[in-house]
Amino acid sequence: MIRDADILAGLLDTIQRFVRERLVPAEDHVAASDCIPEEIVRDMQEMGLFGMTIPEAYGGLGLTMEEEVKVAIELGQTSPAFRSLVGTNNGIGSLGIILSGTEAQKERYLPRLASGALIASFALTEPDAGSDAASPRATARWSSDHWVLNGTKRFITNAPLAGLFTVFARTSSGISAFLVERSSPGLSIGPADRKMGQQGTHTADVMLEECKVPADALLGQEGQGFKLAMRTLDRGRLHIAAVCTGIAIRVIRDALAYAAQRRQFGKPIAAFQLVQAMLADSQTEAYAAHAMVLDAARRRDEGDDVVLEAACCKLFASEALGRIVDRAVQIHGGAGYMREYAVERLYRDARLYRIYEGTSQIQQLVIAREMIGREEAHACI
């Protein structure tokens, strides 16, 4: 587990250079081909990016939440495809195993996830259970000496690449979680989704038709799957808020550079106060998002309950990013609508962050619920 400030600074410096020198130059290729070059995947494996948050005992770097968000902010400053590829292995795809897995499950899966030899996926969302994640229709029944799963999961990140799925299904005891390997009979993957943005990231349906998995595929206790999913999503929301912050930093940097070199009426447009106002508002929101994410991450590392804070971060950072990238397109003017400039692609990429890992409206409900619950608890003291 990284604790030495110099080691962390070295890691962040390495990632900054990797983003600047390897990932940013590859963005156009990834967007056009809808895939990440194999040599970059190997580089990411060698750097340990697939196992950043997995404990050192299982081959990972064992980053704390604060350290993780600092890395996510750096990775956010390039195409979302790169961060998405490693994201599930570090967050929702592995955290359930770390929190509730047996030692046998940890030893079987975590080292391969940490090395990038195995890609994980988190199968919670369904066609009729998106924001209403507590109402899955997927089922799991016990049959003699194994479980049988049926149902369809939708918009599942990295499904076309994944070798391991954390699947949530309803059992007689409530919602339960299962570790389902890609080779399991009865599991199939639909065609990759065609999306507005985020080319190079891959989502698809996961179909379970009388899918048989062994008894030891159950993750944690039967009926406790929803609680596990929510604990996992809290960390995921902080991670996504950090990614949004990184994208905002990149977009502001690009907008400022363009405003400094684009001339109108005999001077750079950065000299005009209305352009300056857009830059200033964007910088203020990015700074606020950065401060919020770091504060919430430190609180989580200290053992605090950060359900409310994580939802605040995800809501604010994703909504702020939407405003920031919109202003950036406006500063670029007509050029911002053209694919020759990265801001056009980042504008489309950014829209998703207000939807997944819980929509902005769900974050508002979570925040209000937590506020009311804390007030009631305080009143009873």
- From 188, 223, 258, the end of a domain falls on 223
- From 223, 248, 267, the end of a domain falls on 223
The verdict on whether 285 is a catalytic residue reads: no
Instruction: Please count the structural domains in the chain.
Output: 3
CA angle 223, 228, 234 (to 5 degrees): 150
Judged against a pLDDT cut of 80, whether residue 381 lies above it is answered with no
Q: What domain range includes position 318?
A: 227-379
Q: Are residues 284 and 327 in the same domain?
A: yes
CATH of the domain at 139: 2.40.110.10
Q: Are residues 27 and 148 in the same domain?
A: no
Judged against a pLDDT cut of 90, whether residue 134 lies above it is answered with no
**DSSP labels for 147-197?**
EEEEEEEEEEETTTT-SEEEEEEEETTEEEEEEEETTSTTEEE-PPPP-SS
Q: Are residues 160 and 40 in the same domain?
A: no
Catalytic residue among 357, 370, 375, 376: 357
Q: Give buried/exposed letters for 270-307 (b at 16+ CB in 10 A, else e).
A: beeeebeebbeebeebbeebbebbbebbebbeeeeebb
What's the predicted TM-score (pTM) here?
0.94
DSSP 8-class letter at 19: I
Judged against a pLDDT cut of 90, whether residue 196 lies above it is answered with yes
One-letter amino acid for residue 42 of the chain? R
pLDDT in tens, 258-269: 999 999 999 999
Q: Is 45 exposed, middle or buried (0-12, 13-18, 19+ CB in 10 A)?
A: middle
- pLDDT for 280 equals 98
Q: Are residues 278 and 144 in the same domain?
A: no
- pLDDT for 91 equals 85
> Are 167 and 189 in contact, with CB atoms under 8 Å apart?
no
